[in-house]
Amino acid sequence: MKITRVDLYQLDIPLEKPKRYPNKTYEALDDTIVRIETDEGHSGWAEVCPIATTYQPEHALGVRAAMEEIVPGLIGEDPTQTDRINEKMNLWLMGAQYAKSAIDIACWDLCGKVYNRPLYQLLGGRLLNKAAGYPEIEAGQPEIVTERIAQYRNEGFRHFQLKLGRGSNFDLDIARLRYAADAVHPGETLVADANKAWSTHEALRILRATEDIDYYIEQPCLTYEECLSIRHQVRQPMILDECMTDIKLMLRGLADNCFEGIGCKITRVGGITGTKLIRDVCKAAGKIMTVDDAWGADLSAAAQAHIAVSTPARTFFATYVSTYFSKVRYDLEAPMLVDGYLNTNEKPGLGVDPDMSMLGEPVRTFT
């Protein structure tokens, strides 16, 4: 079997709520969708949708630029040999894991179709009946926190992520945390995500002022070194997200005892192959992980679903499904959150058949 064609599609994903960053507000995000075709009639799909150029180094135009370097070297390769495909991509381009992830995921989707199995069966089998999702609670006034938790609880969620540190101050962040702690019920989980916004002195002050509250702190500071510097000065269990970009950093974090969990975004770490490796190391090390992605639609949600349900309960923490909150669907039968939980379907591969009328013509074709 050989790759004969790769198509790139571009899709704008409108946001339910604008995403605001220091120098730009995003009303929609630029999504790149990839289709791989073979000489035996099989095809595989994937997507990659970075959030913003000021959030992480990944950006939408970079996806399609990287494809110009990567894809010509893959024509004629066997897409079911996923490790070989990854080695080939690394020969053609250094870095750009987020772009390579789309090729990797599409190859895994294609493998499922070749073997006529849903993807989770190729990842070790089903270990969860369904995967708990979580919503983001925006960094607004403290009173909003109580309303949002009640709203999302009614939608079936029991795991809540509270955003902190965006244009706020010490008192506002502490107030948000206390409102959230009062709103969360027994058996529910609260995570406070600073999205790397705090300096070390800000993180120490806020975390020490809220030591009486039961919550996880996620990515308090920009760099791994900053997070490590406060790790053993506070009581809250720590989850690292943005600074965990590959398995080497994760292994360093394990050696330094720097975290209890990982916020793993599939396209940040190279796709299914990279996420599976991180999942298995978390399992062996007794750590927890979320199964997330930067953004996306049905293909992204499906990839998360298959990784999530093939993760042991003791390792899986929760999953954020962005398309649930942006409402863009190009396959209404694809995996989606229902009553706060994500599940796969039983179709081969990812189980997604994109509506071609929504995608339009490819913006680039490689043969």
Q: pLDDT by residue (tens digit) across 262-304?
A: 999 999 999 999 999 999 999 999 999 999 999 999 999 999 9
Measured in degrees and rounded to the nearest 5, phi and psi for residue 155 equal: -85, 0
Q: What is the pLDDT of residue 26?
A: 84
Which DSSP string corresponds to 299-360? HHHHHHHHHHHTS-TTTEEEB--HHHHH---S-TTS---BTTEE---SSSBT-----HHHH-
C-alpha 186/C-alpha 200 separation (Å) is 31
Q: Let me know if 265 is a catalytic residue.
A: yes
Q: What is the pLDDT of residue 263?
A: 97
C-alpha 199/C-alpha 220 separation (Å) is 8
Q: Where in the chain is the domain with CATH 3.20.20.120?
A: 121-342
Are the beta carbons of 320 and 341 closer than 8 angstroms? no
Q: Which of 61, 63, 54, 57 is nearest to 93 (CA)?
A: 63
96 pLDDT more than 70? yes
C-alpha 99/C-alpha 89 separation (Å) is 10
Match 């027994």 to its residue by tokens.
Answer: 186
Q: Does domain 121-342 have CATH number 3.20.20.120?
A: yes
Measured in degrees and rounded to the nearest 5, phi and psi for residue 301 equal: -60, -40
Q: What is the pLDDT of residue 354?
A: 97
Q: Let me know if 248 is a catalytic residue.
A: no
The pair of structure tokens assigned to 133 is: 């999702």
**Mean pLDDT value of segment 181-209:** 96
Q: Which CATH architecture has domain 3-116+356-366?
A: 2-Layer Sandwich (3.30)
Q: Which helix (H) or strand (E) holds 217?
A: strand 216-218
189 forms beta bridges with 159
Match 């899709």 to its residue by tokens.
Answer: 11
Q: Where in the chain is the domain with CATH 3.30.390.10?
A: 3-116+356-366
The 3-state DSSP class for residue 192 equals: strand
217 forms beta bridges with 192, 238
Mean pLDDT of the chain, nearest integer = 95
Give pTM, 2 decimals: 0.95
pLDDT band at 168 (very low <50, low <70, confident <90, very high): low
- Angle between helix axes 170-183 and 200-209 (nearest 10 degrees) is 40
Q: What is the pLDDT of residue 22?
A: 63
Beta-carbon count within 10 A of 329 CB:
17
21 pLDDT more than 80? no
Residue type, 7: D
The pair of structure tokens assigned to 223 is: 């760099």
Q: What is the pLDDT of residue 119?
A: 98
Q: Of the residues 265, 276, 287, 347, which is catalytic?
A: 265
Q: Of the residues 100, 163, 287, 347, which is catalytic?
A: 163
% residues pLDDT > 90 (the chain): 89
Question: 324 vs 39, which has greater pLDDT?
Answer: 39
Q: What is the pLDDT of residues 105-158, one digit of tens each?
A: 999 999 999 999 999 999 999 999 999 999 999 878 899 999 999 999 999 999
C-alpha 265/C-alpha 292 separation (Å) is 5
Q: Is 64 exposed, middle or buried (0-12, 13-18, 19+ CB in 10 A)?
A: middle
pLDDT band at 167 (very low <50, low <70, confident <90, very high): low
List of residues 6+ apart from 208 with CB closer than 8 A:
234
